[in-house]
A and B are shown apart, each in its own frame.
Chain A
Amino acid sequence: MIKNIAVLLAVAGLLMIFLPVISGFQERDNLNELAADYVDGSINDLGTPNVVTSVIVTYRGLDTLGEVTVLFLATVGVGLLLKGNREDMIKISPLELLETTSSVLVALIMVLGIYIFTHGHLTPGGGFQGGVVIASGFLLLMLSKVNAKISHSIMNFVESFSGVAYVGIGIAGIVLTIGFLNPGILPLGQFGDLFSAGAIPVIYSLIGLKVGSELTSILVTMRGE
């Protein structure tokens, strides 16, 4: 009884917190100064059509580095917690339908993932989305071919290589230009081209590889290897 009242009080308190947000809410008509600066800078300084990408990779690049670190720590944590879970692993042989379609689909999903992260500066998408798509391709592979071995050493290599290269590009920004993770180390190129926007597509591709390999490692660990 007392528990129910406490729960109700907590929920009511949470609602009370958000009441002023709803009552005082008005749709804005104009960007605030910072956002307008980001949109303007993304087009004129960075040559990146996708403003969200330039915020993530350049203006808030340090946050993204921290985010990638959190994802890495989560991978390590999952690996540590689920180490040696193989005794209660259940093997169900897949349906023929799944097996046949996956042999076509896995390659297509991988290509889509790579497309998403290499075009992250032009279209909606980027490293995190592309990485997740690649990991979903690996998930389909694991479901359809139960005995498929996904090499831990290759995953670890891709993951650590892209992490080191990401930080390396950041440090190159300090040496060659004005600051850490500045994409100006490569030429800006033609606005809207695949090879443009300086180092942004390179950084986002590295993030895509890192996220893809980390999530695949999580899946492989959860499968019990």
Chain B
Amino acid sequence: MISMYTLILGIALLVIGFYAMLTRKNLIKIVIGFSIADTGTHIIIVSLGYLRGKTAPIIDGAVNAVNAVQEVVDPIPSALVLTAIVIGLAVTAVMLSFIVEMYKKNKSLSIDDYQELKW
């Protein structure tokens, strides 16, 4: 049941982030929206890997090495999310650097002042 709640939380965060990316005018706020959506995706993926009543996939005092397969949650979503967090960090750093450059050129953080990609 708990993973149902975290799944809904993740989807809510994803939608909030997506909405922020579409409606905000400030470039920094768009990046914040991206980060929120990114976090939502991570929570969704981890929720999908949860198994009822099982523990983290690390063999120590709490998990018996012999029948570990019956006692741990899915390790693959955790590994994927670890990858996704690092990539999200890298992408955010590059986006913020682009914003610094754009601000230096046009002295504006509003997306309305950048018409190049407008259709």
On whether the two chains bind one another, the answer is yes
Binding site for B on A (CB under 8 A): 7, 10-11, 14-15, 18, 21-22, 25, 27-32, 34-36, 38-40, 42-43, 49-52, 55-56, 60, 63-64, 67, 70-71, 73-75, 77-78, 81-82, 85, 122-124, 126, 128, 191-192, 211, 218, 222
Docked Cα-Cα span, A58 to B3, in Å, equals 28
Q: Chain A contacts of B52 at CB under 8 A? A: 27-29
What residue in chain A is nearest B16 (Cβ atoms)? A11
User: How far, in whole Å, are A67 and B85 apart by their CA atoms in the complex?
Assistant: 10
Q: Does B111 count as interface, using CB distance less than 8 angstroms? A: no
| Chain B contact patch, size range | 35 or more
> B91: which of A43, A74, A123 is its contact (CB, 8 Å)?
A74
* Per-residue interface assignment for chain B, residues 1 to 15, with 1 indicating a CB less than 8 Å from any chain A CB and 0 otherwise: 101100110010011
Q: DSSP class of B's interface residues: helix, strand, loop or mixed?
A: helix
Known A7-B19, A14-B15, A38-B76: A78·B65 in contact at CB below 8 Å: no
Q: Is B90 an interface residue (CB 8 A)?
A: yes
Q: Identify whether the interface residues of A are mostly helix, strand, loop, or mixed.
A: helix
How far does the Cβ of B92 sit from chain A's closest Cβ, in whole Å? 9
- Whether A49 pairs with B74 at a CB distance below 8 angstroms is no
Q: How far is the CA of A39 from the CA of B57 in the complex (A)?
A: 8
Q: Which residue on B lies nearest to A40, using beta carbons?
A: B69
Contact yes or no, A81 B101, CB < 8 A: yes
**Measured between C-beta atoms, what is the minimum distance from B87 to chain A in Å?**
6
How close is A6's CB to chain B, nearest CB, in angstroms?
8
